Amino acid sequence: MPSGMANERLFDLVSYARRGPGRRDHLSPGEIAQVARTVRRTPEVMVKVLSRGGQDLKAVGRHLDYLRLRDEGELGLETDDGQRLTGDKATQELVESWDLDLEEHRRRSDLDARGGGSKKLVHKLLFSMPAGTPPDKVLAAVKNFAREEFGLKHRYAMVLHTDEPHPHVHVVVKAVSEQAVRLNIRKAVLRQWRSDFAAHLRALGVPANASHRYMRGENSPRKSDGIYRATQRGQSTHMRARTEAVVREFASGGLKVESEKADMLRARNEVRNGWNAIGDILVRQQQPELAHQVRQFVDRMPPANTEKEMIAAHLLEQIRANAKRDRSSPTR
């Protein structure tokens, strides 16, 4: 971990707006830096756990082949022990080196004896930064992160992909460590990984932040990896179905208010209160310029709309644009 970051606590925005003895009234230097990065819209890191395809050897093999064999040629698998595996036997070599065949046999024997759900052989992770970030720095930051998080514990391999505008690194981590401890990735762990990845990027001179979506006023629902990638390609059946449902509601008399709207507005109010409290603290800590930026950040937050409301707004915008174009078109 970069110097000074090992004990950095995850930023809890809402705690600053609480009343009573639990309310916080001081910002540490690290928290002030986090506030500054967030309100100045420093590029946000993305760390995702890809949920499908790590339960059996065939699926693991297909994923490894997908990672290393691209249209631009073979990329190779960079492993935790410094090797770069290439060639027809690269995937099989890694599977054998990690003893995944023995792990699968042991897991199946345990399931036959005790029953229960299937456990993963590997975890599939994705580390990404927005377009324009130097790919070599993204790869270097992931290497540093993986060395500190998994080194001498969990075997891992990685591949840098640059076939999309945002550079991203796929990491495959053996689920069971060399000490026979299974890796369980919970939400708190994932949040810490985002923070650590951002810190490694900053140590390499790359502006990077790891704030929570709700802190930035983002309320669009998270999508699964499959839906996300299909949407990026313009092939999402999920979004098509949601859009068609909104059109049907419009035709039948207007949008119906969704049940989560009240919860969304309540959460947005908590976020605003938290940011306003932080602005007050910054003034008391002689940070008036940053306090002003916090106020502007809050004022510019997008409306707290549900996905259905956002789709409806987009459709109305398209209708207005089409009507404007029709009016401006010369008649014949």
Beta bridge partners of 159: 170
Which token pair is 294?
Answer: 């916090």
Question: Mean pLDDT, the chain, as a whole number?
Answer: 85
Whether residues 24 and 55 fall in one domain: no
Whether residues 73 and 109 fall in one domain: yes
Please compute the mean of the pLDDT values over residues 252-277 and round it to a whole number: 83
CA angle 48, 119, 122 (to 5 degrees): 50
Whether residues 54 and 181 fall in one domain: yes
- For residue 115, what are the CA distances in angstroms to 52, 110, 118, 175? 21, 7, 9, 19
CA angle 311, 312, 316 (to 5 degrees): 120
Top-confidence residue, 267 or 331: 267
Please compute the mean of the pLDDT values over residues 139-145 and round it to a whole number: 98
Domain boundary among 180, 203, 226: 203
Domain boundary among 203, 221, 244: 203
At residue 3, the pLDDT reads: 45
145 is in which domain, residue-wise?
A: 46-203
With respect to residue 78, please indicate whether it lies within any of the assigned structural domains: yes
Whether residues 181 and 84 fall in one domain: yes
At residue 136, the pLDDT reads: 97
At residue 40, the pLDDT reads: 96
Residues 6 or more apart from 208 whose CB is under 8 A from it?
A: 42, 43, 44, 45, 129, 197, 198, 199, 201, 202
* pLDDT confidence band for 145 (50 / 70 / 90): very high
Residues 6 or more apart from 41 whose CB is under 8 A from it?
A: none
What are the tens digits of pLDDT across the range 41-92?
999 999 999 987 778 899 999 999 999 998 878 999 999 999 999 998 999 9
Whether residues 53 and 196 fall in one domain: yes
At residue 95, the pLDDT reads: 94
* pLDDT confidence band for 2 (50 / 70 / 90): low
For residue 289, pLDDT over 90 is answered with: yes
What are the tens digits of pLDDT across the range 153-197?
999 999 999 999 999 999 999 999 999 999 999 999 999 999 999
With respect to residue 69, please indicate whether it lies within any of the assigned structural domains: yes
Whether residues 152 and 96 fall in one domain: yes
With respect to residue 192, please indicate whether it lies within any of the assigned structural domains: yes
With respect to residue 259, please indicate whether it lies within any of the assigned structural domains: yes
Top-confidence residue, 9 or 40: 40
Comparing 209-213, 264-268, 276-280, 317-321, the range with the smallest average pLDDT is 317-321
Is-contact 94 157, C-beta < 8 A? yes
By the 10 Å C-beta count (0-12 exposed, 13-18 middle, 19+ buried), 146 is classed as buried
Please compute the mean of the pLDDT values over residues 301-328 and round it to a whole number: 78
With respect to residue 212, please indicate whether it lies within any of the assigned structural domains: no
Whether residues 29 and 51 fall in one domain: no
With respect to residue 66, please indicate whether it lies within any of the assigned structural domains: yes
Please compute the mean of the pLDDT values over residues 10-22 and round it to a whole number: 74
Whether residues 254 and 311 fall in one domain: yes
Domain boundary among 154, 178, 203: 203
For residue 260, pLDDT over 90 is answered with: no
By the 10 Å C-beta count (0-12 exposed, 13-18 middle, 19+ buried), 279 is classed as buried
The number of domains in the chain is 2
* pLDDT confidence band for 4 (50 / 70 / 90): very low
Whether residues 242 and 156 fall in one domain: no
The distance of Cα 35 from the centroid of its chain, to the nearest Å, equals: 19
Instruction: CATH number of the domain at 91, please.
Output: 3.30.930.30
With respect to residue 225, please indicate whether it lies within any of the assigned structural domains: no
Helices vs strands, H then E, count in the chain: 11, 8
Q: What pTM was computed for the model? A: 0.82
Which token pair is 184?
Answer: 């369980």
Is-contact 195 30, C-beta < 8 A? no
Whether residues 137 and 166 fall in one domain: yes
Whether residues 60 and 161 fall in one domain: yes
What are the tens digits of pLDDT across the range 235-259?
557 677 777 776 776 667 666 767 7
Beta bridge partners of 157: 79, 172
* pLDDT confidence band for 7 (50 / 70 / 90): very low
At residue 114, the pLDDT reads: 53
With respect to residue 219, please indicate whether it lies within any of the assigned structural domains: no
Whether residues 188 and 97 fall in one domain: yes
